[in-house]
Chains A and B, each alone.
Chain A
Amino acid sequence: MMEKDAWPLWEIFIRSKQGLDHKHVGSLHAADAAMAIENARDAYTRRMEGVSIWVVESKYVHASNPDDSGSFYDPANDKIYRHPTFYDLPDELKHM
């Protein structure tokens, strides 16, 4: 199949049971959203993996750039006061 004729790629999210989040499980090719859901059913839920399927065409996923990881994530390294465990709780406080 030539590249210009190839079906678009879709990202597949499966919820394994009620109450849990949809999790990214992989990607596959399909002509449109309806076919993507059916393909996902056949490729990713054959062994009782899911109760719900989301599909998103891959071109609509915008991702952060790995080159930015220094400026994006490193500054959080020394900000321990952003974690609740940084604070001492008074003994009188229950149910925390």
Chain B
Amino acid sequence: MPVPVNIEYILHLADNALVLGHRNSEWTGHGPILEQDIALSNIALDLIGQARNLYQHAAALMNAGEVMTERRADGARTEVTEDYLAYLRDGWDFRNCLLVELPNGDWGMTVLRQFFFSTYQYFLYRELRHSQDSELAAIAEKSLKEVTYHLRWSGEWVIRLGDGTDESHSRMEKALGQLWKYTGELFEPSGYEQGLAAEGIAVDLHKIRPLWDQRVEEVLKQAQLTPGSNEWMQTGGKHGKHTEHLGYLLAEMQFLQRAYPGCEW
């Protein structure tokens, strides 16, 4: 699916939010306690709301630029919609990082992944508020308050469990071992990010990397956890090369629109 780089960047941001939002929604009804079930479902809804705003923006740009729209028999063009972008693209079209598509694991792994991602999203959105794309800047401004809370919530959980019982500590160590190699991709700029960062549209990832490092180090230290030392990082999601987990996720998430195209509630 060749699309202009600025649209690819918006899809990258949207896909990150949608896929993690969907992963979190898998906890709904299965949380360890009712109150935390509600908390994580709230975060899922926040992320899916951010994804909607971003997909709507991407769809508007696509329709204006006649990207991916097809000429019908009557001469009119089909419209790209937010639903199309979320529910009818295939795995290789998704530009999300591998971190967000990984299975939830246990509660410890879920909150640690959320903490890594929210820290990234917090510093990312803070910068994106100054984007030359005013629509992106507005979405970042609106989303930043939500993400600030996600960061607080997930950070508290990481500390609580890491510095908790022997059982919770060992589970957090295990989660850290599994997730650490997926954190590098967050800051590995893709082709579309590099060019757009120079134009002041995308965020320069080199700028926010030290901020992420510092915050993560502080919280992990408080949680009595040591970050993984493996330097080798898993990567590929930003270019559409995903783990096998994304296919299963999309099969479930996209089932309704694919089985009943155009279906509405």
Contacts and interface: CB of A to CB of B under 8 A. Distances in A.
Contacts, number: 28
**Most interface-central of B35, B38, B160 (chain A CB within 10 A):** B35
A42 B33 contact: no
Nearest to B160: A31
A28 B33 CA distance: 10
Contact of A39 (B35, B149, B152): B35
B160 A43 contact: no
Given A34-B156, A38-B156, A7 B33 contact: yes
A29 to B, nearest CB: 6
A51 interface: no
A78 B45 CA distance: 56
**Most interface-central of B33, B149, B152 (chain A CB within 10 A):** B33
A38 B148 CA distance: 13
Contacts of A34: 156
Contact of B33 (A1, A38, A41, A46): A1
**Most interface-central of A1, A35, A41 (chain B CB within 10 A):** A35
Nearest to B149: A41
B56 interface: no
Contacts of B36: 39
Contacts of B38: 39, 42-43
Contacts of B153: 38
Interface string A25-63: 000111100110011011100100000000000000000
A28 B35 contact: yes
B42 interface: yes
Contact of B42 (A7, A29, A30, A46): A46
A30 B35 contact: yes
A39 B157 CA distance: 13
A35 B33 CA distance: 12
Contacts of B152: 38
Interface string B18-54: 0000000000000001111011001000000000000
A37 B36 CA distance: 12
Contacts of B42: 42, 46
A81 B152 CA distance: 55
Contacts of A46: 42
Given A34-B156, A35-B156, A42 B39 contact: yes
B35 A29 contact: yes
B44 to A, nearest CB: 12
B33 A29 contact: yes
B160 A38 contact: no
Interface of A: 1, 7, 28-31, 34-35, 38-39, 41-43, 46
